């Protein structure tokens, strides 16, 4: 049993650089997709905010126009 574990640990030590490289690449992909989702959500929120502000501006302009008459 101990030989089996020793061989596996030796294999891990031998390929640790490659394992770390692929682990880092996988982490980078996860972070990139999460960042992309955050940016998409912020863009949607900004578009909704702009639409609300345009509507408010139009309503205020109409009110100002009505009070000037």
Tens digit of each residue's pLDDT (9 = 90 or more) over 19-65: 999 999 999 999 999 999 999 999 999 999 999 999 999 999 998 88
Give CA–CA dist 27/58, Å, rounded: 47
Confidence tier at 68 by pLDDT (50, 70, 90): confident
Fill in the DSSP letter of residue 15. Answer: T
Structure tokens at 9: 């640990």
What span, in angstroms and rounded, lies between the C-alpha atoms of 56 and 66? 15
């Amino acid at each position: 049993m101990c030989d089996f574990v020793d061989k596996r640990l030796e294999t891990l030590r031998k390929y640790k650089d490659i394992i770390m490289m692929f682990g880092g690449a996988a982490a980078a992909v996860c972070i990139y997709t999460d960042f992309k989702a955050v940016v998409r959500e912020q863009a949607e929120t900004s578009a909704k905010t702009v639409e609300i502000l345009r509507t408010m501006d139009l309503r205020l302009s109409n009110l100002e126009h009505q009070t000037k008459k």
